[in-house]
Structures are given as C-alpha cells and as structure tokens.
Amino acid sequence: MNKTIIIHYSEIGLKKGNRGYFEHKLRDNILRALRDFNIDSLKIDFGRFVLPLPDDAPIEQINQRLSDVVGIAHFSTAFEASPDIDVLKEQVFEHVAPCIFSSFRVLTKRADKQYPLTSVEVNKIVGERIHTALNVPANMKQPDLTVFIEIYNKKVFFYLNRIQGLGGLPVTSSGKVVSLLSSGIDSPVASYRIMLRGCHVIFVHFHSFPFTDKASYHNAIELATRLCRFQYSAKIYLLPLAKLQEAIIAIAPPKLRLLLYRRAMFRLAEKVAKKEGAQALITGESLGQVASQTLENINAISEVVSLPVFRPLISFDKEVIVAEARKIGTYSVSIEPYDDCCSFLVPRNPETRAKIDDVRAAESIIENLTALENEILQSMECVKIQFPPE
C-alpha cells in the first residue's frame, strides 16, 4: 500500500476569514523544510496537508524535518484504504496483526458526513475484527495501540502512530522581528519562542573584538545556524561595540556602564530593524534573573527605542529555559566559554536600581555618541544562513 503523510495544523484551525493565508504559509514552509527530498505534491485537503510518498522516500529524515516545522499539531504516516467497510477492516487488520500490544482502541474522525457509517459504527466494526481475531481488550483511555481512521472527501486513511509537532503559527505569518542574540543560554530560547508565534527572526549580535577574542562572534553564528532550521533562512548581523565601550568606560561611572552598553545595543538593534522592516525587538531577559534585569533597569534600557520590545522569557525560571535550550539543541553551544561584551570592564556589582536621570546624565556627556554608533553600523557584518544547507 502507498504511504502518505497526513499533517494536521494547530492554531490555524481557529482562524476564520484568513485561514487560507496561514495554510499557504505553512505549505510553503513544509516544502522548504523538505526542499532536498524533491517533494512537490503537497496538497491542502479538507483542513489537512496530504503528502503522498514515493516508495524510496527517507521517512525517518522527513519525520525529523516535519518535527521542526512550526504550525504543525501532529502528523502521521498513513495508508489510503478502501471506503468499503469490509475491505477497510481487513486492510487495518493486516497492519495491526504483526504489532505487539495488550490493549487497543479505534479512533475514527469522519469529516465526510456522506459516508454511510458514523465514526462510532466504524470504531465498532474495525475494533471487533481486531478483538475477535487477537483476543486483545479494547481500552479507550490508555491503550497500547491506537488505530486512527480519517474519513474525508470520499477518502479513507488509517495510521497507527502520531508524531507530535511544535504547534504555534507558521513562521513569517506574523512578520519580522530583530532578536538580540548573545552567546548565552536565554536569547536563543527567546528567539525560538517568538518563532513559534509566527515571526521570522533577524539576529543581531554585539561583540567586543579586539578587546576580547572572537568566541562569542563564532558561537552566535553557530546558534543562529541551529535556530535557522525553524525558519529556513536567517541573517545575523555582527556589530563591533568595542570603540563605543571605550568611550563609555572613559566617562561613565563603572556602575552604570552595563546600562549604557545596553542602551547603545537597543538603539543599534532598532536601526537594523528599521533597515530590515522588522517591527519589534526581542531579548532573552527574565525578570530579576541578573542585575540588569530589574524593573528599574529594564525601564532605563527600553526608553531609548520606539519599537516594542518583547521578552518571551520574562516569567520563565532559569531551569525551564535550560530545559528548552537543551530540547532545541542550543544549550551545548551556549555553555561554551566566551567573553561577553556586556561584562567587559563592568564591576561585579553593577547598578540594580538605576535612576533614569543619572543614566541619561551619564550618557549625555559621552562625546560623539551618535557618530560612534553610526560608525558601528557602517562596519557591521552580515552572515546569511540557509536550511537545509545548499
């Protein structure tokens, strides 16, 4: 029997008027994810995607790719069966008989109300065939094996296994954002979280080379590369902050340095966002996690930009963030040693409750601030990434 992958989407199902827009975004993304497998026969059929597979299709690899497509609720490798119930129950039985299981259920979903039997009747007939032949009890709550049957548009499919997807909305359906990507643990997770809400992320990384080595620069590119598999193309802008840091260090009280670095980062990231047509900034901040992430300091940093700043991790505990970083494969890169540009000549006890007037006053006396920031924008680099790689 020919194999077909049936893909169900999650939240898109709740969209009414513009469901088609989201479906097409998701279709494009699935095709991009499978670009190197020569697959072009993906159809949208009655609220699901249907992908007939050639015999030699690398199913494991295709499953892996689909597991990373944002917007999919779950998917399965299915078999197309006969609409004739007597044939259908034999076709299902043939697939179930070799499986080892001690309880089972049949779950039918009938979107085609023209079909002569109800879902419950199909469950009963197919279930009885299995029970009578194998003497295995049915268990509707926690069975070892579930036979899923889908009836729609005059077609019948069945499958025995469902792979959970990421959920969320298809990447690019919500527009573009700029994410401030350090080489740490949090900002890659924040970037991933906003991708799940349908954003295409452009990355911005600040480094202090030549004051520090280039470890953070390389780690940030590697992180963007790992995250690219959720959105298929990515750009990372690499901005040299060293000269500006030098000017800040020369003039500002040590306790305020970190805040002044951050304000500069936000202004520069906003410039990149405007250039790219991105509509928000993203950071990996989590309230109270470190000195710069108190409410006072978040205010002192945010006031320099007019774009909204989203902080997907603001309420997350560190251990939750770490677990997610492991899951998406960024943790091992994030824990590699690097000199963080924010800790460059910053005292051990930076200001935790900055007074906004003090911060503004310290910043106002930095010579050539705007010229220095323009110089950084002139000398920033941009690396483009593709997934799957060419």
**Binding positions for ligand ATP, rule: CB under 6 A:** 180-182, 184-187, 204-206, 265, 283-285, 289-290, 292-293, 341-342
Minimum distance, C-beta of residue 195 to ligand ATP, in the bound complex (Å):
15
Minimum separation from the CB atom of position 283 to ligand ATP (A): 3
CB of 185 to Mg ion, least distance (A): 8
Among 172, 174, 182, 292, binds Mg ion (CB under 5 A): 182
Q: What is the per-residue DSSP string for 153-172?
A: TTEEEEES--EE---SB-TT
- Choose the contact partner of 205 out of ligand ATP, Mg ion, none; CB within 5 to 8 A by kind: ligand ATP
Distance in Å, CB of 178 to ligand ATP, minimum: 10
Q: Which residue is nearest to ligand ATP (CB)?
A: 184
Secondary structure of residue 329 in the 3-state scheme:
coil
Taking the complex as a whole, how short is the minimal distance between the CB of residue 343 and Mg ion, in angstroms?
A: 8
- Name the binder of 333 from Mg ion, ligand ATP, none, CB < 5-8 A by kind: none
Decide whether 150 or 285 has the Cβ nearer to ligand ATP: 285
Binder of residue 78, out of Mg ion, ligand ATP, none (CB less than 5 to 8 A by kind): none
Give how far the C-alpha of residue 155 lies from the chain's centroid of Cα atoms, to the nearest Å: 33
Asked whether the bond before 388 is cis by omega within 30 degrees of 0, the reply is yes
CA angle, 338 then 342 then 343, to 5°: 70
Which of residues 130 and 342 has its CB atom nearest to ligand ATP in the complex? Answer: 342
Beta-carbon contacts of 238 under 8 Å, excluding residues fewer than 6 positions away, are: 205, 207, 217, 220, 221, 380, 381, 382, 383
Residue 185 binding: pick among Mg ion, ligand ATP, none (C-beta 5-8 Å cut-off by kind): ligand ATP
Closest residue by Cα to residue 283 from 263, 260, 253, 256: 263
Query: What contacts 327, CB < 8 A, 6 or more positions away?
Result: none
Among residues 349 and 370, whose Cβ is nearest to Mg ion? 349
Q: For Mg ion, which is the closer residue by CB, 182 or 293?
A: 182
Q: How far apart are CB 208 and ligand ATP at their closest, in Å? A: 8
Q: How far is the CB of 269 from ligand ATP (least distance, A)?
A: 8
Cα separation, 37 vs 58, whole angstroms:
8
Give 105 or 262: the residue with its C-beta nearer to ligand ATP.
262
Residue type, 63: N
**In this complex, which beta carbon is closest to Mg ion, that of residue 108 or of residue 182?**
182
Positions in 183-212 near Mg ion (CB under 5 A): 184
Residue closest to Mg ion, measured at CB: 184
What are the distances in angstroms from CA 204 to CA 92, 147, 191, 218?
52, 47, 11, 13
* Residue carrying structure tokens 């527009």: 175
Nearer Cβ to ligand ATP (217/232): 217
Nearer to ligand ATP, 136 or 242 (CB): 242
- In the bound complex, what is the minimum distance in angstroms from residue 62's beta carbon to ligand ATP? 33
Question: Can you tell me the distance from the alpha carbon of 126 to that of 158, in angstroms, rounded to the nearest whole number?
Answer: 11
283 binds Mg ion (CB under 5 A): no
DSSP 268-292: HHHHHHHHHT---EE----TTSSGG
User: Residue 181 binds what, of Mg ion, ligand ATP, none (CB under 5 to 8 Å, by partner type)?
Assistant: ligand ATP
* Cα distance between residue 156 and residue 92, in whole Å: 11
- How many residues belong to the site for Mg ion (CB under 5 A)? 2
Cα 295 to Cα 288: distance, rounded to the nearest angstrom: 8
Binding site for Mg ion (CB under 5 A): 182, 184
